[in-house]
Structure 1
Amino acid sequence: MAAKPRRGIVSLPERRSASKADSNILSRITSTTIISSGKQVARDAAFVSKKLICSTGKVAWIAITTFLILIVPLIIEMDHEQLFTDLELQQTSLLDSLPVAPAHS
């Protein structure tokens, strides 16, 4: 039941609560086309970023696997070849430095 106004007192209209006014303003602001299009752009950017990250991971996996399968054995083989060449060079330099015995006739 509503209280009866007292005699001699002027009654003022009821004030809206602050939260109702704020939510009303907020709903009007968020329902504008600029905000709606901004939200859509943000959603699209998040979607594209997620897809880009996933595809970048796949590309990185392919590149690393290819490197391990093709390039690393090649590097190891080249290193072995270089060691073999250095060993042959060292052996020839040792053989060249030995004194040659005179041939017996």
Structure 2
Amino acid sequence: MASQGRRGGASLPDRPSKNQASGIVAKLSQSPIVSKGKEVAGDAALVTKKLLKSTGKAAWIAGTTFLILVVPLIIEMDREQQLNELELQQASLLGTPTTMGPPPPK
């Protein structure tokens, strides 16, 4: 039998291995400027990650504090306002004066 070779099609040129540095892109990617840029970008990403993490913690603390302290206060103030309006309505229906200040001196 005859040895079997490649069948049809165009053959592509062999690619250089990763260990070989050939071409402009490879030379640029190994330059000290690019490596320093990668280092700075990595540092910036680390700082950004830490900042977002601490900001998230601060937002959690502020949000839960608001829910625990401020929301019940708002609800209570709304109830008080509704109660005052109800008393004013009842007073106007019964014909009593609707002044909210102290009674006039006698």
TM-score range, shorter-chain basis?
0.5 to 0.7
Query: Which string of whole-angstrom CA distances, capped at 9 and with x for unpartnered residues, describes residues 8-64 of structure 1?
Result: xxxxxxxxx774398333443222121011001110111011111111110110011
Which SS does the other structure have where 2:95 is aligned? helix
Asked if 1:64 corresponds to 2:67, the answer is no
The amino acid across from 2:21 in the alignment is: S
Equivalent-residue separation in structure 1 for 2:29 and 2:21 (angstroms): 10
Asked if 1:86 corresponds to 2:85, the answer is yes
* TM value normalised by structure 1: 0.67
**Where in structure 1 are there 5+ consecutive unaligned residues?**
1-16, 98-105
* Aligned pairs, number: 81
**Where in structure 2 are there 5+ consecutive unaligned residues?**
1-12, 97-106
User: 1:23 corresponds to which residue?
Assistant: 21
Alignment of 1:1-105 (within 5 A): 19-20=15-16, 23-25=21-23, 26-96=25-95
* TM value normalised by structure 2: 0.66
Structure with more helix by fraction: 1
Percent identity of equivalent pairs:
56
Equivalent-residue separation in structure 1 for 2:79 and 2:65 (angstroms): 21
